[in-house]
Amino acid sequence: MTPRIVPAILTSDAKALRTMVSQVQEFAPYVQFDFMDGHFVPSVSVSDKDLAGIPIKFKWEAHLMVVNPAASFAAFKNLGARRVTFHIEATDSPDDVIRQARQLGLEVGLAANPDTPVSSLLPFVGKVDTFLFMTVFPGFYGAKFQAQVLKKIAEFRREYPTFHIGVDGGIKRENVALLARAGVNDICVGSAIFLQSSPAECFYSLQSLAEEAAKQRKD
């Protein structure tokens, strides 16, 4: 499967949110919105209420870095989300959270922080649609890429070569190819797109890099 660059929108400013949505409408078919509550992570972002009323043409998902992810599932469903991705570290009952998302007809992703072992995810293979491997500790825009997560991805890919996975955090031109060759499906990119002078040009360039690197992958 061809890897996909997924622009990741993370902001605490409602005006900036509208600007970023307007920018990405022009080039991205699929986008991730990041939401933070100030509890699961120290930072606070815009909420589903800020997203309401903004015209959105692209398909999108909500990445919830929050302590009670299921509380906002219905709101995101009503706003048009295709998928909700929550953190395994945020709940003692991932199965219950998955069930609540499924009841609303949502796809489900399960995210894991850099220090969470692959073994924690394995019971949920077949229960969720994707795993999101965090390549930073979440909550801070522009955080440093944690290269050790590549080992986790390789470990998982040995056992599950076709299961859908994504990565998120600290992704730049210099590491996109590494991730694509590792067999990642969705590569979520924030500042390397939105903090550049031409977000569209950066998006297309990163997509080309990922596609070329994936061709070099040895299965």
Position of tokens 């069930």? 99
Neighbours of 27 (CB within 10 A): 17
Look up residue 91 and give its two tokens: 């709940």
Q: Is 116 exposed, middle or buried (0-12, 13-18, 19+ CB in 10 A)?
A: middle
Q: Give the list of residues 6+ apart from residue 131 with CB closer than 8 angstroms, or none.
A: 109, 110, 111, 112, 121, 124, 156, 163, 164, 165, 166
CA 147, CA 143: separation in Å to the nearest integer?
12
Contact 132, 110 (CB under 8 A): yes
17, two tokens: 């949110």
144 Cβ contact list (under 8 Å, min separation 6):
136, 170
Per DSSP, helices labelled H in the chain are 14-25, 48-51, 73-79, 94-103, 149-159, 173-181, 191-194, 199-215
Cβ partners under 8 Å of residue 208, min gap 6: none
Instruction: List active site positions.
Output: 34, 168
